[in-house]
Amino acid sequence: MKATSTPAEVAQAFGNSVGEIWKSMQGLNLPLPALNTLQADYLKQATELWNQTLQKGDGKPAAPSDRRFSAQDWAGNPASAYIAQMYLLNARTLMQMAEAVEGDAKTKQRVRFAVQQWVDAASPSNYLALNPEAQRKALETKGESISQGLKHLWNDVQQGHLSQTDESVFEVGRNVATTEGAVVFENELFQLIEYKPLTAKVFERPMLFVPPCINKYYIMDLQPDNSLIRYTVEQGHRVFVVSWRNPDESMARFTWDQYIEEAAIRAIREVQDISGSKQLDTLGFCVGGTILATALAVLAARGEHPAASVTLLTTLLDFSNTGILDIFVDETMVQVREMTLGPKSPGGGSLLKGQELASTFSFLRPNDLVWNYVVGNYLKGETPPPFDLLYWNSDSTNLPGPMYCWYLRNTYHENKLMQPGALTVCGEKVDLGAIKAPVYVYASREDHIVPWDAAYKNTQVLRGAKGRVRFVMGASGHIAGVINPPAKGKRSHWIGTGSTLPADAQDWFAKAKEHPGSWWTDWADWLKPHAGKQIAAPKAYGNRTHKAIEPAPGRYVKQKA
């Protein structure tokens, strides 16, 4: 289709594409009555759009409400407005057809996901020949926007990923991950960072953060005003954080057991040694929470209970509902991964590259995290604005294949972690119910990676808490819901009103009360009684056997995938 196509040519092109749509859907198990209804509705609406375009007056259909077509360039050009409206009609119809497919739940979910990916990629806003906004900018800049877009494209090809922010603005240790501290221990898997106290006294029980190993830890320490780490230090806690090493080929055969024994459990041991406290408060974020809970269950099997409290942020322990990620996981997929990345692969294991993980997560929200930047960066030649969270999001990490394959099979696929005694980790039968510490479970309402009602199941899995479980749900998604400092005054959170938690998440939500602002203050108040008495803040990092190795954020977090 040419940029100068007439409405009649556009209509013919779309008519041809509609015919192809019907042909491509014939192989799916669509009930005939539903298909006939969809086809009739489609033709009716397409005819109305065409008649609206040809009618007297301004000669264009109503401006689309979709933000991709919100610029006046779309509404002001009859052909462009018609193209946008026809695209949206095609998109709605395809998604309705996907919904009408008969089959099991996973098949339907996969069809919906595949159709949505195609629909989002096919948007006319993604193509210079069909995007009047990009065309206008090219004319106004005398082609400079196209030249700049090609430069952005070449830069992204060289760096290996799509730029979602101006990455030149940020540097780890300079303007992100800047909370003052020092590395006090390191091994092949992680560095342990201790942070400088910001209060004259600290609680006697230290706090250990275990972040997700599929990302860098500094999501919890972006800027001083949105740093969960700094906020916790300001509350009077002696904070230690695991900074995972970005695996290279020397770690390609590392296992899940090594991540538990040599990282999570080792970090607990080191914090105990440095602080002199047998018990500590613990926090795990996303898969870091899964790792932390597994480590505590292994220690419980050994008769040890080092956690005075456990905080789990957007964490899955019961994997019966894994949200959108479920579409990627079945026996065939797991076997392929095991044969190519796991212990059964040539060489006994290889790395899962960070860029593959990053691309997968981006395409879970393609319009926001992919096509939005294709249009802005390449078609319009714009440099995306600086955004610390998106800089962190692009700072990808590798994973050892054997570790990843174990996690994939035993949690996402077979959901064995929540079954008492079903798994042996580090030589011990795992029972999450053996963890006796009180638990704070946080979930985000719009989380598409860890659905909030799936995170709620943690309240039932952690039976050893014996009623000492607090569940809080925040607004927004997987990351933005967690990183929500009180000073910003943004969003809200929900807290249950009863003294006990019902078994069903919806029953909890029906009685929960919404509170404005961040959940951080509620967590800080909950944590204080578990942190022990206050003592004088240490004047130096580590202790006699743990000297400061280097200033925070350390070397490991700066390693690129």
**Structural domains for the chain:** 7-125 (no CATH), 181-353+398-558 (3.40.50.1820)
Task: Determine the residue type at 237.
Answer: H
Does the structure show a pLDDT above 70 at 57?
Answer: no
Res 105: pLDDT: 85
Give tens-digit pLDDT for 408-437: 999 999 999 999 999 999 999 999 999 999
Coil/strand/helix, residue 368: helix
Res 145: pLDDT: 97
**Per the structure block, which two tokens stand in for 230?**
């700094």
Beta strands per DSSP E along 396-542: 399-400, 424-425, 428-429, 439-444, 469-474, 492-495, 513-516, 534-536
Residue 213 pLDDT class (50, 70, 90 cuts): very high
DSSP class per residue in 34-47: HHHHHHHHHHHHHH
Residue 494 pLDDT class (50, 70, 90 cuts): very high
Buried b (16+ CB within 10 A) or exposed e, 5-21: bebeebbeebeeebeee
Residue 4 pLDDT class (50, 70, 90 cuts): very low
Res 58: pLDDT: 53
Residue 63 pLDDT class (50, 70, 90 cuts): low
The closest of 267, 266, 210, 208 to 232, measured between CA atoms, is 208
> Is residue 122 within 8 Å of residue 13, measured between CB atoms?
no
Average pLDDT, stretch 486-505?
91
Res 101: pLDDT: 84
Res 61: pLDDT: 53
Whether 213 is a known active-site residue: answer no
In which element (H, E) is residue 520 found? helix 520-527
Res 391: pLDDT: 95
Res 103: pLDDT: 83
Give the bridge partners for 494, in sequence order.
473, 514
Give tens-digit pLDDT for 475-484: 999 999 999 9
**Per the structure block, which two tokens stand in for 279?**
């018990």
**Per the structure block, which two tokens stand in for 472?**
């809080």
Average pLDDT, stretch 537-553?
96
Average pLDDT, stretch 196-213?
98
Q: Tally DSSP H helices, then E strands, for the chain.
A: 21, 17
Give tens-digit pLDDT for 68-104: 998 999 988 888 988 999 999 999 999 998 888 888 8
56 vs 155, higher pLDDT? 155
pTM, two decimal places: 0.91
Beta-carbon contacts of 558 under 8 Å, excluding residues fewer than 6 positions away, are 172, 173
Average pLDDT, stretch 392-396?
93
Residue 1 pLDDT class (50, 70, 90 cuts): very low
Res 505: pLDDT: 96
64 vs 292, higher pLDDT? 292
Half-sphere exposure of 513 (CA within 13 A, CB side): 3
Could you say which of 213, 286, 405, 426 is catalytic? 286
Residue 6 pLDDT class (50, 70, 90 cuts): very low
Res 90: pLDDT: 92
Does the structure show a pLDDT above 80 at 28?
Answer: no
Find the distance separating the first CA and the last CA of the chain, reported in whole Å.
40
- At residue 536, φ and ψ (nearest 5 deg) are -60, 135
What does the mean pLDDT of the chain come to?
91
